[in-house]
Structure 1
Amino acid sequence: MILLDKAIKYATDVVEGKEITTKEVIIQCKWFLIDYNKRQHKDDFEFYFDTSEMEKIEGILKLLNFATGLNIVGKTILDGLWGFQAFFLCNIFGWRFKTDKRKFRYRDVTLFIPRKNAKTFICALILIILMLTEDKHSEFYSICLDRELAGEVKKAITQIIQASPVVEKYFKLSTTLSGKIICKLTNSYYQARTAEANRNNSIRPSAFIADEIGAFRDYKNITAMQSGQLSVRNPLRFKLTTAYAESESIMLEELDYIRKVYDGVIEDKRMFALLYYAEDEHKWDDIGLQQANPLRIKENYQEIKDNRKKALEKPSERTEFLTKHMNIFVDDIKENKYIDFTYWKKGELEKIDLEGKEVVVGVDLSLTTDLTAVDIMYKKNGQYFLKSHAFLPEDTLPLRREKIDYRQMEKLGYCTITKGNIVDYLVVEDYIRNIEESNCKIKCIVSDPYNALQMMQSLANDYEVIMLKQTYSQLSPSIKSFRDDVYKGNIFYEKNKLLDWCMSNATTVKGRTTDDILLAKENKNKHRIDLVVAAIFAYSQLYLIDESINIQEVTEDYLNMMGW
């Protein structure tokens, strides 16, 4: 099968290093080869690759012709597809549920790719295939902020159909932007729409493409489209875009989520993504050019090189070059990541035993959107052992931006969901008071004097409670030392995906006049770090124990930290 052979060759070349690309694409290709060659044949793997369905897709591609492009006009699309395009299509249409062969494995699909790489063409091709193969009377849409851009996908569909005489007779085309392209075989249709959320609420999309989502600054249109997919068998959501000079783009949050899936922080079996961009150290060289631009057309590469030369000589053209050719969000503020996540994961244990231990409890309190965190830590032989638990109010679940299944997290024991729209502090207090049921002894409880003073006062009747303000002088030494101990392999924690997620979000902010640091309460994507903050609170009361103090090294910050 030509299409599948191209996809497998592309994935193999990527994994073997023959194809220069990004680390995210390498991971996606590795997953594909493992799933295709091994996992699909195992009973406990819920998906399989349907070669018979792919033969149908290949048959369609034999009948479709290129309408535009260098040296390929009139050529069949099957013959002219590049490896990454074949790989993209095979993953979208090939993987199915074993329990329902008509149900696609992948629901959320992202293609992050710069100009001159046939993004609009692949959009058009996907929609044509869906109109021909999905359930009768299905509705397909593309949404875009700009009216002119919204018409580009429709124009590409029209051009491909008109260049394919065998297929053209099965479609009814429209010349207006709002007009529908109708497939006569299935009575399904495609319509281009501009992104106006209040006008996209009454439709029922089987699939939609959020085109140039990098220009979107909120999720209103995405949410409106998704709300119409509740009763659809295959609610496909495509997000295709180039980078923008836009620091508030929702695509930055999407990229953050996708990378967390690749890093193993979040599990999402139904996400597929290809991220093409120049890595920071290669944004001005030919390696970066190849990483960002998988369409290996000599003429395109020469044009990009010419634009690069101009951008290096003319600073005013650098933003345009980096965003549109290297696929870099120029206004994306580089954050100071707190900890290299690979080092953090080395400390994961299945279980932390508290029996017989003297523990410190760190508490980071919240009311609504933050997580309330309770962390338990003890120290033994210079090593630290940590258990974390989160609390959040039930009524906020539909409003939360993060793509985390908190119901599942609760089933796994990582969090507790309390009734109402604010955290129930009585539940939190009961949890803290029950810690000693593990036959351990609470040495002290450490918290920020921000919320729930009444709860902390109640706990103070039975435990030593330390109120620790989140200031540079009080927390910076602990934050730095905790990070050092992670890198030294001295921090161990009981497996908790919410704690992992918080740690992957953690960034630091630096003092204006000193080298002191604090954890930023939330990162640019408004992702939380509350379980990490609670861990630092607990650590602050443990890391100096049994440590000899050189009086010559005592600083004013240290004295302030100790309250002297």
Structure 2
Amino acid sequence: MATVSDGITYAERVVSGEIVAGELVRLSCQRFLNDLEHGPDRGVYFNEDRAQHILDFYDFVPHVKGALAGKPIDLMDWDIFILINLFGFVIPLIDELTGLPVLDEDGDTVMVRRFRTAYNEVARKNAKSTLSSGIGLYMTGADGEGGAEVYSAATTRDQARIVFDDAKNMIKKAPKTLGRLFSHLKLNIHQERTASKFEPLSSDANNLDGLNIHCGIVDELHAHRTRDVWDVLETATGARLQSLLFAITTAGSNKEGICFEQRDYAIKILRGIVEDDTYFAVIYTLDEGDDHFDEANWPKANPGLGICKRWDDMRRLAKKAKEQIAARPNFLTKHLNIWVTAESSWMDMDKWDKCPETASDEELKNWPMWAGIDLSNKIDICAAVKEWLDPAGHTHIKAKFWIPEGRLETAPKHIAELYRKWADAGYLELTDGEVIDHGYIKAEVMAWIAGDNLQELGFDPWSATQFSLALAEEGIPVVEVPQTVKNLSEAMKSTEADIYGKKFHHDKNPVMTWMMSNVTVKPDKNDNIFPNKSTPENKIDGPSALFTARSRQLVNGGSTPDMSGFFADPIIIGV
């Protein structure tokens, strides 16, 4: 019988290094242990009875495939860890009108589940669909939710039926237990007592409107070419007090899609770049630099290796991938859970976080300063960065950001929430309307650089020609910096060297930190680099402005040579 302590012990063993695990799994386990100890400080509590309830439910859930078909599922430790996270953590239900906790008839605070979204990424054949099918059944008829609507969704109806059919077969193979709770038809599982249902859904988002979802399970999220299904399901959970949108997937190759966007957001939560107490994430994959063909690394992506996934099958696939290059991408994505075409992250965010703070305004005004502007387009973030060079050769920066308030209505929900949080804290300025007023930004920039020892202000001529002309008319020394590899590669490498060499100081602006974590690179054959972004919504305007300023600082930031006396002592040919 699985117990809550099994899940806690798993997390402790991962963190201690006793269990082979990648960095992202260790971070997930550390987050769990931290929240057990410190969660109550911010209103997050762990309810062991709730966590045990879902584990006890699995005592009645049978295997549906293979030699163990019909026998009760023996949950693996990593399964237990996921389940007690999703169903054990609770928070007080808050009345939206009063802002106060809701009380029950006995005067006790009503508690609801903490996690509303979950991202589970793991290599194939680790029984993630089996785990998800059990969750779907639990939330259909054992969660105490009246009229629960549970759906498994995928790009095709056949894919969506994998989770659903496993759930239906669980009922068939356990007629005396699950069969007493649920009835089923070809494409429907239902519970008459609570008027609840569980059904598969295809990816036609136009047919998903009007849903009132208690649980949405999105299978193989990496295969979704658009974000339509995810957005519709996410919107449809809003009316439920403790709904769950659960993504299960292996790695893929489309870094522009919704899966990579969710993955990127999940990693930022795990690494502490973004705070979101409603989002659970666990990602089983190899670490950067790991040898793909070293068996010792395989459990990082395959927590069920040796239990539900065979070692000999992994060895066979690895041998084929090593000998046949054409087979390698499939082995990396499906069996090592590695995104094969995604560009690599540029910045070591741990080193960025450890950078010292920018000097005081009193000191900065005495040092030469270069500025960079990234106006982007009129419906997106605008960024400005000031970069000073101190007498010791250290860099100091400050950043400023603007965005039209109307843009928040069209941004993905999790991004819009970040923008609002930063705006409330004074790190991001919301401007009126749907578009940026460049005249307003010009006045803001003029005021921001007033009193500084400005050397040059760099800008991208592609989007800011009129803006730069307006600044030039005010006497500002503006310089075009086209966004090319030639201009930005050395600026990026120089910035990186300063950060790694502890010679870079920044103002701890969380918007800039988020954007730095979004920068990806793919070196060319000459080892040149250029800033790209991991997903369309992961903006990099701040870093672009920084590299623009750094590009000009590299050109004219050295000391001016003393030319006096040069012509008084010329070199005479023949002497």
TM-score interval (norm. to shorter): 0.7 to 0.9
| Aligned match of 1:556 | none
| Aligned match of 1:560 | none
Output the TM-score relative to the length of structure 1: 0.87
Q: 1:62 aligns with which of 59, 62, 68?
A: 59
| Aligned match of 1:375 | 385
Distance 1:465 1:310, change over 3 A: closer
Offset of residue 271 of structure 1:
1.6
1:18 partnered with 2:18:
yes
1:488-518 deviation per Cα after TM superposition (whole angstroms, max 9, x unaligned): 1111111111111221122346577x55544
1:148 partnered with 2:168:
no
Distance 1:360 1:309, change over 3 A: closer
| Aligned match of 1:240 | 248
Offset of residue 244 of structure 1:
3.6
1:55-74 deviation per Cα after TM superposition (whole angstroms, max 9, x unaligned): 4334423333334454x444
| Aligned match of 1:230 | 238
| Aligned match of 2:79 | 85
Q: Which residue type is aligned with residue 91 of structure 1?
A: N
| Aligned match of 1:259 | 267
Matched-pair contact (CA < 8 Å) for 1:499–1:532: yes
| Aligned match of 1:171 | 182
1: distance between equivalents of 2:75 and 2:121? 18
Q: 1:456 aligns with which of 442, 453, 468?
A: 468
| Aligned match of 1:137 | 147
Matched-pair contact (CA < 8 Å) for 1:121–1:153: yes
| Aligned match of 2:102 | none
1:76 partnered with 2:72:
yes
Q: 1:431 aligns with which of 408, 419, 444?
A: 444
Q: 1:109 aligns with which of 98, 114, 118?
A: 118
Matched-pair contact (CA < 8 Å) for 1:366–1:423: no
Q: Which residue type is aligned with residue 303 of structure 2?
A: P
2: distance between equivalents of 1:46 and 1:492? 34
Q: 1:207 aligns with which of 196, 215, 218?
A: 215
Matched-pair contact (CA < 8 Å) for 1:141–1:190: yes
Q: Secondary structure at the match of 2:514?
A: helix
2: distance between equivalents of 1:235 and 1:368? 36
Alignment of 1:319-330 (within 5 A): 319-330=329-340
Offset of residue 88 of structure 1:
0.6
**Percent of pairs with identical residues:** 26
Output the TM-score relative to the length of structure 2: 0.86
Matched-pair contact (CA < 8 Å) for 1:7–1:87: yes
Distance 1:341 1:50, change over 3 A: same
Q: What RMSD over aligned residues (CA atoms) do the two structures have, in Å?
A: 2.7
1:308 partnered with 2:318:
yes
Q: 2:194 aligns with which of 162, 171, 186?
A: 186
Matched-pair contact (CA < 8 Å) for 2:151–2:198: yes
Q: Which residue type is aligned with residue 494 of structure 1?
A: D
| Aligned match of 1:558 | none
| Aligned match of 1:360 | 370
1:160 partnered with 2:170:
yes
Matched-pair contact (CA < 8 Å) for 1:352–1:494: no
Matched-pair contact (CA < 8 Å) for 2:27–2:271: no
Distance 1:12 1:451, change over 3 A: same
| Aligned match of 2:570 | none
Q: Which residue type is aligned with residue 483 of structure 1?
A: E
Distance 1:73 1:484, change over 3 A: same
1: distance between equivalents of 2:359 and 2:242? 39
Q: 1:282 aligns with which of 262, 281, 291?
A: 291
2: distance between equivalents of 1:508 and 1:548? 34
Distance 1:53 1:107, change over 3 A: same
State the aligned residue count: 537
Offset of residue 140 of structure 1:
0.9
Distance 1:104 1:158, change over 3 A: same
Matched-pair contact (CA < 8 Å) for 1:361–1:538: yes
Offset of residue 346 of structure 1:
1.7
Distance 1:417 1:120, change over 3 A: same
Q: Which residue type is aligned with residue 72 of structure 2?
A: T
Q: 2:544 aligns with which of 520, 527, 533?
A: 533
| Aligned match of 2:497 | 484
Q: Secondary structure at the match of 2:124?
A: coil
Distance 1:203 1:470, change over 3 A: same
Q: Secondary structure at the match of 2:245?
A: strand
| Aligned match of 2:408 | 397
Distance 1:402 1:537, change over 3 A: farther
Q: 1:446 aligns with which of 458, 462, 475?
A: 458
